[in-house]
Amino acid sequence: MNYKKHFNYFHSKDQWYYIGLPIAILGCILVVGALFFFFVIPYQMPIGMTVAAIGASIAFLPYARCSKESEIDEAVCLASEDYSKQISERLSLENQLAKNTKPLTVGGYMYEDDLLMRRGRTDRICRTSKYSVAKIFCTKYGLVVAGKSFSLIEESENERMDSYSFSDMDRVAVTDEQFVCKDGSKIKVSFLVITKDNKELLRLPVKHDVAIDQLCHTVNEMIRKANT
C-alpha cells in the first residue's frame, strides 16, 4: 500500500483543479477559434496553446503525487480480499457453518472526527484515512466475527475476534445513521449492530445491501429459535 500517495490524496485540495480548468478551456477556445480563422487577438494560436498548457498544468500536476480515487478503492479491495482469505484459512469453520449460509465479508470507511476525510471530486464519495473489514461466520452455534481496522496513510492496524452464541444475542440489525462532516455536510453511514438487553455488543461499518439484510434475517431467526 502506497501510504505516502494516499496521505497526499487526503491533504490535497480541489481548488487548483477548479482554477486551472477554466484557464485550460479558455486556451482551447482560442486554439479552436484560430483553426477556424476566428481571431480576437494577435498570435492567437501560440497564445491559446500556451494558456491551455498552463491551465492543464495547474489543474492536473498537483495530483501527480497523489493517489487516484480508483487507486484507493483498489487498495481497500485488495486488503479486504486478502484478509478474508487469511481468516478463512486460519479458522477453518466451513464444517461448522449453519445450513444454507456462507461467510460474509463486510467493510466500510470509518467516520471519526480525528480522521482525514476527502469527498471524491467525481463520484462524491466521502473516503477517510481508516477502513474496517470483517468476516462473519454464521455457525450452528452462533456468530464468529473476525475483523480489523487499518490505516490508509500509515502502517497501523487493529484486529479483534468475537464470538456470540445465539442465546447471547437479542437482535442483529443494520442501522443507517448520519455523520456530520467538518464542513457541515451530512453523509449516510451504515453499521451492523449486535445487541443484548438493549446494549450494543458489537458495531461494524458495512455497506447496506441485500446480502447483509439476508444475514440479519437468518441470524434473527436462529436467535428466536434458540430463545424459545
Q: Is the distance from CB of 121 to CB of 14 less than 8 angstroms?
A: yes
Measured between alpha carbons, how far is residue 27 from residues 89, 106, 165, 170 in Å? 57, 47, 67, 64
Residue 143, CB-side half-sphere exposure with 13 Å CA sphere? 31
Task: Report the SS3 class of residue 45.
Answer: helix
Q: Which three cell numbers stand for residue 226?
A: 434458540
Give the C-alpha separation, 220 to 173, whole Å. 9
Amino acid at 15: Q
Query: Could you tell me the pTM of the whole model?
Result: 0.81
* Angle, in degrees to the nearest 10, between helices 69-91 and 3-11: 130
pLDDT score of 61: 67
pLDDT score of 62: 67
Long-range CB pairs of 34-43 (<8 Å, 24+ gap) are none
DSSP class per residue in 147-215: EEEEESSSS-EEEEEEEEEGGG-SEEEEEEEEEE-TTS-EEEEEEEEEEETTEEEEEEEE---HHHHHH
* Mean pLDDT per 10-residue section of the chain, whose length is 228 residues: 88 74 87 83 86 80 79 94 94 88 94 89 88 96 95 94 94 93 85 94 94 94 88
From 163, 161, 160, 2, select the one nearest 79 (Cα to Cα).
2
Give the C-alpha separation, 202 to 170, whole Å. 12
In this structure, the dihedral spanned by the alpha carbons of residues 41, 42, 45 and 47, taken in order and rounded to 10 degrees, is -80
